Structure 1
Amino acid sequence: MAVRRTPSGTGDRPLSFIEQARRDQLIGVTVDLVAERGYAAASLARIAQAAGLTKGAVLYHFASKDAVVAAAHAHVLNALVADVGAAVDAAPADRAPAAYVRRMIGHLTEHPDHARMIIEAMINVDRPDAEARWRPLAALLRSAREARGLAPGTDPRTLALIVGGAIDAIIGERLQDAAYDTEAAAEALVTMLETALFT
């Protein structure tokens, strides 16, 4: 449950239903604005206007524009991680990397606003730790080889970096060309990944 510092500074308290609903609304509006217009154009005034509120009301819930954008970024990342995580958890260990690739591309194709929000936030607000991007996939790659009884092969970090870059390129192409077939691209990437991983 989210908490908010009380105005008097006496401690944290749970958000009321209305406060949580308003924060959720502001996060949704911010995702839409940043995805549609970019970080620079998503001012506090525009966020407030899109939500039908005053800037003061936005600042009641978030300390600054960067705080709203950071919350919106966290929201889309949490949705992505939950979706991809569920697909990976449902797959056998040796199929988990394929599930990861398919669902990562699938989620970002289905939610282009999330893809744009992640890109804008990474460029303008929150530059993530590079290791945090490749380490989870590298662990899946190691586990997949172990599940098939294979000795260590290609460096999992290198393979994870290559796959991550390919996913970024596929999604970037889809953002530029809505007709680009990301499902076929995901299958091609899975084929290349499994060739590198298991042969």
Structure 2
Amino acid sequence: MARTPKQGRAGRGTTLIERVRRAQLVEVTVDLIAELGYAKTSLARIAEGADLTKAAVLYHFPSKDALVRAACAQVLETLTEEVGAALASAPAADGPTTYVRAMVGHLRAHPRHTRVIVEAFPHLEDDHTSERRWGPLAGIIDTAAEARGLPAVDSRSLAVIIGGAIDGLVGEALRDPDYDTTGPAERLNAMIESALSG
């Protein structure tokens, strides 16, 4: 029987100590990827950062990729929760602009998480398909268009364009920490409003 994420190595439920250790390993992995990049983040460095042996790391995660997946999942969960909360409190018609503000704001406020997304996701190709990126935003755009009483829009293309613009803003902020993404994000939102003005 396959072991589920909530089960330990022997198929039993994980203990509190195991959960704490796994969380520590994920945090160390996030820090190392943010500081060194994916290629230089090795199991040996993760073990050293957690003050464990490599064998102890492998007890909790069977490979570097498994640990990187867990780190990416944590980063995405935090991002999704924050953006989701912003969308839930905004009118449906304002969904696309709320999405841009929340995404850019979160990624600006959490540069470590941003570096993990940039560094690690290309190595997890099965988790990072194009449609998984633009699909949810296209749905937000469709909902906004409907709330505004607009005819169907090319939400896929608009979502790809918005996603690319966000990537560009965030990438520039990673290269230059003094680059303020707030103004450019609002200019992007003005373009979105123009596209959804009917």
Question: Normalising TM by the smaller chain, what interval?
Answer: over 0.9
User: What is the Cα deviation at residue 41 of structure 1?
Assistant: 0.7
1:149-173 per-position Cα deviation (integer Å, ceiling 9, x unaligned): 11123x1000000000000000000
Counterparts in 2 of 1:1-199, with a 5 A limit?
2-7=5-10, 12-127=11-126, 128-153=128-153, 155-199=154-198
Separation in 2 of the partners of 1:123 and 1:197?
32
Separation in 1 of the partners of 2:194 and 2:148?
14
Separation in 1 of the partners of 2:136 and 2:122?
22
User: What is the Cα deviation at residue 106 of structure 1?
Assistant: 0.6
Tell me if the contact between 2:34 and 2:115 (Cα under 8 Å) persists in the aligned partners. Answer: yes
Tell me if the contact between 1:2 and 1:14 (Cα under 8 Å) persists in the aligned partners. Answer: no
The 3-state SS of whatever aligns with 1:178 is coil
- Displaced runs of 4 or more, over 6 A: none
Tell me if the contact between 2:9 and 2:59 (Cα under 8 Å) persists in the aligned partners. Answer: no
User: What is the Cα deviation at residue 125 of structure 1?
Assistant: 2.9
Tell me if the contact between 1:70 and 1:126 (Cα under 8 Å) persists in the aligned partners. Answer: no
Separation in 1 of the partners of 2:96 and 2:196?
10
TM-score, length of structure 1 as denominator length: 0.93
Tell me if the contact between 2:33 and 2:115 (Cα under 8 Å) persists in the aligned partners. Answer: yes
User: What is the Cα deviation at residue 126 of structure 1?
Assistant: 3.6
1:45-104 per-position Cα deviation (integer Å, ceiling 9, x unaligned): 100101111101101100011111111011101111111111111111001111110000
The 3-state SS of whatever aligns with 1:4 is coil
User: What is the Cα deviation at residue 15 of structure 1?
Assistant: 1.4
Tell me if the contact between 2:7 and 2:13 (Cα under 8 Å) persists in the aligned partners. Answer: yes
Separation in 2 of the partners of 1:80 and 1:53?
29
Separation in 2 of the partners of 1:152 and 1:53?
55
Separation in 1 of the partners of 2:103 and 2:67?
25
Separation in 1 of the partners of 2:163 and 2:172?
14
Separation in 1 of the partners of 2:155 and 2:148?
15
Separation in 2 of the partners of 1:2 and 1:190?
39
User: What is the Cα deviation at residue 4 of structure 1?
Assistant: 2.5
1:142 is aligned with what amino acid? D
Identity %: 53
The 3-state SS of whatever aligns with 1:83 is helix
Stretches of structure 2 that go unaligned for 5 or more consecutive residues are none
1:139 is aligned with what amino acid? G
Separation in 1 of the partners of 2:143 and 2:124?
33
TM-score, length of structure 2 as denominator length: 0.94
Tell me if the contact between 2:8 and 2:14 (Cα under 8 Å) persists in the aligned partners. Answer: no
Calculate the aligned-residue CA RMSD, in Å. Answer: 1.4
User: What is the Cα deviation at residue 117 of structure 1?
Assistant: 0.4
User: What is the Cα deviation at residue 6 of structure 1?
Assistant: 3.6
The 3-state SS of whatever aligns with 2:12 is strand
